[in-house]
Amino acid sequence: MRSADGRIGGRFYPPRPGTLAAVLTAVLVGTAWSPADAIPSFARQTGLPCAACHTNFPELTPLGRQFKMLGYEFAPAPPSVRQLAAMTVSSFTHTEAGQPGGAAPDFGNNDNFAQDAVSIFYGGPVYGYLGTFLQATYDGIADHVHLDNTDFRIAKSFSLGNLPMLVGLSANNNPTVQDPWNTTPAWRFPFVASGLAPTPAATTVIDGTLAQQVYGFSLYTLWDNLVYVEGGAYHHIDTGAQQALGTFDPTADVVEGFAPYWRLEVQKSWAGGHYLSFGTFGLDAHTFPGGDQSAGSDERIDWGVDLTYQWITPRHNVNLFATWIREDQRWHASQPLGLTANASETLTAVRVTGSYLFDLTYGAHVSYFTTYGDKDPTLYAPAPISGSRTGSPSSDGWILELDYLPFNKSGFPWGWRWFNPKFVVQYTIYTKFNGASHNYDGSGRNASDNNTLFVAAWFAF
């Protein structure tokens, strides 16, 4: 699954396999799988229904967050084939106006059907207190296999005086993929979205820019089930290893040294199913633009704050997620190389999402998003569909989604009770795109031309 905002389909350039059969064979015989937050492996492992750890999956409940922090296991257990799982996502995408030349290679200008993803998972214990969440994905839009988000954990809970403590270590390949809240970029809404629709050009570095391009380690602790603290760092994965894992992108920025990462969250549950948390997170990344080391490195510092509110009852689940991220950009290398007009800039991204799930079956999401920052006519240059006529990174709009989870409450009725489908109808509305509402790209395209209807069938089994 695509990491930053749940999108499926990434920008990778490995050799293309010839057939889907070859792809699935490669997945099954390989040793690397990677994560998604809601897979039947965990239900089979714990004996709990999916709804114990998720509301509208992959949104986590307090128990689901605890399970993740404990290393994807409540107690040490031997590994088992029962921890294997699979997932498919198939979709239809319609944009208000077509994309001349095709939405992607081998796709039409509009009204495209796609097999977005086929994934194999291993989720659960490895040895002792070591657990993992692994997923290998066939990306049907880019037509290749890659190692997706990956998280290994060692975690232990104990008492310090009269207070409960939890201490853990995570090794993962995407900043925030280890995070147990659905506010940080790797696991926030939308959890699936079209890989065949235009998306805004500007994004913060923590928002998926380094996904599967880095590896990192972080140490975390939860004190008295109240205060969560985490610190770690990320380093570039060698090019040869990225090629072997199917994640190599020759245009991607390369991290210089180690990029520090931090997380602080305060949480509280109280009677009646109410839960509230708020906190901060961030990343300080020095990067070589496009891997070019001739002019040194840029620095991008991301500071984020987030808030989660949940009300969970047997019939009603209400969630509110809010995230604000500011990025301070210092183009020490990009400006001398002619890639930016300014020496320093800022970029801010805000997202507020409300969701409701009735009877664990019928769900709805409403999400507002906005991105804004300094104008840069070089970084955000005019270009058909993807460019900016004004040199501005500003985009904003709404995402509306309806979900149907027919077996989320009682399980699949004909023998395989861990089969959990989710049917999604999603509509994205842009009021501004890459700096303007009208003729934003300099080629006559309007922001509303990128409004997107996305219909998907998401099967986990």
Q: How many CA atoms does the CB half-sphere of 67 hold within 13 Å?
A: 23
**Interatomic CA distance for residues 324 and 70, integer angstroms:** 27
Asked if residue 435 is part of any domain, the answer here is: yes
Residue 309 burial class via C-beta count within 10 angstroms: exposed 0-12, middle 13-18, buried 19 and up: middle
Nearest to 395 by CA among 437, 356, 367, 357: 437
DSSP β-ladder status, 112-127 and 420-432: unpaired
Let me know the angle formed at the C-alpha of 33 by 45 and 222, rounded to the nearest 5 degrees.
Answer: 60
Domain of residue 212: give its range.
20-460
Is a pLDDT exceeding 50 seen at residue 34?
A: no
The beta-carbon contacts of 412-417 under 8 Å, at least 24 apart in sequence, are: 416/461
Task: Output phi, psi for 63, to 5 deg.
Answer: -65, -40
Asked if residue 250 is part of any domain, the answer here is: yes
Average pLDDT, stretch 297-309? Answer: 98
Contacts of 374 (CB under 8 A, 6+ apart): 342, 345, 346, 347, 393
Confidence class of residue 230 from pLDDT cuts 50, 70 and 90?
very high
Let me know the angle formed at the C-alpha of 244 by 239 and 245, rounded to the nearest 5 degrees.
Answer: 95
Q: What is the pLDDT of residue 47?
A: 76
**Interatomic CA distance for residues 266 and 68, integer angstroms:** 17
Q: What is the pLDDT of residue 332?
A: 98
**Interatomic CA distance for residues 193 and 7, integer angstroms:** 5
Asked if residue 8 is part of any domain, the answer here is: no
Is a pLDDT exceeding 80 seen at residue 418?
A: no
Q: Output the average pLDDT for the chain.
A: 90
DSSP β-ladder status, 151-160 and 214-223: unpaired
pLDDT tens by residue, 67-83 = 999 999 988 888 888 88
pLDDT tens by residue, 84-116 = 999 999 999 999 999 999 999 999 999 999 999
**Interatomic CA distance for residues 178 and 126, integer angstroms:** 17
Q: What is the pLDDT of residue 40?
A: 79
**Interatomic CA distance for residues 362 and 356, integer angstroms:** 8
DSSP lists the bridge partners of residue 299 as 286, 330
Confidence class of residue 256 from pLDDT cuts 50, 70 and 90?
very high
Asked if residue 289 is part of any domain, the answer here is: yes
Q: Read off the amino acid at residue 215.
A: Y
The most distant pair of C-alpha atoms in the chain lies apart, rounded to whole Å, by 67
pLDDT tens by residue, 190-216 = 999 999 999 999 999 999 999 999 999
Please check whether residue 56 is in contact with residue 28, taking contact to mean a CB–CB distance below 8 angstroms: no
Which of helix, strand or coil describes residue 343? Answer: coil
In 128-197, which ranges are E strands? 130-139, 144-147, 151-160, 163-172
Question: Which domain CATH number covers 415?
Answer: 2.40.160.10
Q: What is the pLDDT of residue 415?
A: 64
pLDDT tens by residue, 108-124 = 999 999 999 999 999 99
Q: What is the pLDDT of residue 411?
A: 75
Cis peptide before 190 (omega within 30 of 0): yes
Average pLDDT, stretch 430-455? Answer: 98
In 161-297, which ranges are E strands? 163-172, 214-223, 227-236, 254-255, 258-270, 274-288
In the chain, DSSP finds a helix count (H) and a strand count (E) of 4, 18
Asked if residue 7 is part of any domain, the answer here is: no
- How is residue 188 annotated by DSSP? P
Tally Cβ neighbours within 10 Å of residue 414. Answer: 7
Nearest to 142 by CA among 212, 5, 247, 37: 247
Please check whether residue 103 is in contact with residue 197, taking contact to mean a CB–CB distance below 8 angstroms: yes
Distance, C-alpha 292 to centroid of its chain: 27
In the block, tokens 């890989």 appear at: 195
Q: What is the pLDDT of residue 385?
A: 98
**Interatomic CA distance for residues 77 and 324, integer angstroms:** 39
Q: What is the pLDDT of residue 1?
A: 36
Task: Output phi, psi for 366, to 5 deg.
Answer: -130, 125
Asked if residue 34 is part of any domain, the answer here is: yes
DSSP lists the bridge partners of residue 458 as 89, 422
Of residues 313 and 161, more confidence is placed in 313
pLDDT tens by residue, 343-352 = 999 999 999 9
Q: Looking at the 3D structure of the chain, how many domains does it have?
A: 1
pLDDT tens by residue, 326-383 = 999 999 999 999 999 999 999 999 999 999 999 999 999 999 999 999 999 999 999 9
Confidence class of residue 37 from pLDDT cuts 50, 70 and 90?
very low
Most confidently modeled range among 7-16, 73-82, 335-344, 409-418: 335-344
Q: What b/e sequence results for 28-55 when a residue is b if at least 16 CB atoms lie within 10 Å of its CB, and e otherwise?
A: eeeebbbbbbbbbbbbbbbeebbbebbb
Asked if residue 385 is part of any domain, the answer here is: yes
Please check whether residue 174 is in contact with residue 37, taking contact to mean a CB–CB distance below 8 angstroms: no
Is a pLDDT exceeding 50 seen at residue 31?
A: no
State what percent of residues in the chain have pLDDT above 70.
Answer: 91
Confidence class of residue 299 from pLDDT cuts 50, 70 and 90?
very high
**Interatomic CA distance for residues 411 and 330, integer angstroms:** 51
pTM for this one?
Answer: 0.90
Q: Is 64 left (phi over 0), alpha (psi -120 to 50) or beta?
A: alpha
**Interatomic CA distance for residues 68 and 446, integer angstroms:** 42
Asked if residue 52 is part of any domain, the answer here is: yes
